[in-house]
Amino acid sequence: GRHRGLPGEAGAAVLRHAPATPSCSPSFHVPRFLFFFLFSFFLSSATIRPTMSFQPLASPVPTPNPATAAGSQNLYSTLRSAFPADLDATAVEATAPDGTPLHYSWRDLDRASARMANLLASLALPEGSRVAVQVEKSVEAMILYLATLRAGYVFLPLNTAYQSGEIEYFIGNAEPAVVVCTPANFGWVSKIAFTAGTQHVFTLGED
C-alpha cells in the first residue's frame, strides 16, 4: 500500500526532538567508536560525552525482538546488549525548536524502535529487504535505523542533496521494498519509487 507518514499508534516514534547531544560509553562487545559513529552519523553537531559506566560482558546478551524472531540475532541485539541497566537514564539530549531542552532515555529509544520495527514487520517484506531513507539528521532517523536492524532489514541511507536523477538511479538499482523521505519531498520521491516498483513509501519529519 501507499502510505504517507509513519503513524504514531502503528509504528512511529512520537517524539518531537531536535538534533541532539548524546552521552554513552558502551560495553566490551559494542566498541565505543560504533556508538559514537551511530550518534554522529544521524545527529548533526553531536558532542560525545562518555559519562556512563559499563562493565565488560563475558558474552553478548541476546534481546528478544518484538518484530521478528530472527531479529534477536542481528546487530540491533548487540547494540541493545550495551544499553545500561537503568533504561530511564538519559541517552540523548536534544533542544526543541523553541529552545526547550528535551531528553531521550534509553527506554525511549528501545520502545520507539520497537514500534517502528513492528510497523516494518507488519508489511511482510521478504527477508533482507532494503529500506531506502532520504531524511535529515535527527533522533527519529536514528530510531528508524535501529528499527530497520531490529526488524531484520537493510538500511540504505541516501544523501539529502540527491535530486530526482540520483534518487531514480539508486532506487532503480537497489530496488528497496520501502522508501522513507521527508514530507516535503513525498510528491516526487513517491512517484519515482512507485514507478520503480517500490510498494511502500513513508515520510519521516520532525513533527
The residue type of 177 is A
Q: Which residue has the cell 535529515?
A: 136
Using one digit for the tens of pLDDT, what is the confidence trace for 88-120? 988 887 776 677 787 888 899 999 999 999 999
- Share the mean pLDDT of the chain: 73
Task: Report the DSSP beta bridge partners of residue 179.
Answer: 132, 201
Residue 173 has pLDDT above 50, yes or no: yes
At residue 202, the pLDDT reads 96
3-state secondary structure of 203: strand
Beta strands in 110-171 (DSSP E): 130-134, 154-157
Using one digit for the tens of pLDDT, what is the confidence trace for 21-54? 333 333 333 445 556 566 666 765 433 333 333 3
With bands split at pLDDT 50, 70 and 90, how would you rate the model's confidence at 150? very high
Helix (H) or strand (E) holding 140: helix 139-151
Q: Please answer whether residues 198 and 170 qualify as being in contact, where contact means their C-beta atoms are separated by less than 8 angstroms.
A: no
With bands split at pLDDT 50, 70 and 90, how would you rate the model's confidence at 16? very low
If you write DSSP's letter for every residue of 39-107 in order, what string do you get? HHHHSTT---------PPPSS------SS-SGGGGSHHHHHHTTS-S-TTSEEEEEE-TTS-EEEEEHH
Task: Report the DSSP beta bridge partners of residue 156.
Answer: 132
Within 10 angstroms of residue 156's Cβ, the number of other Cβ atoms is: 18
Find all residues with CB under 8 Å of 124, minimum gap 6, and list them: none
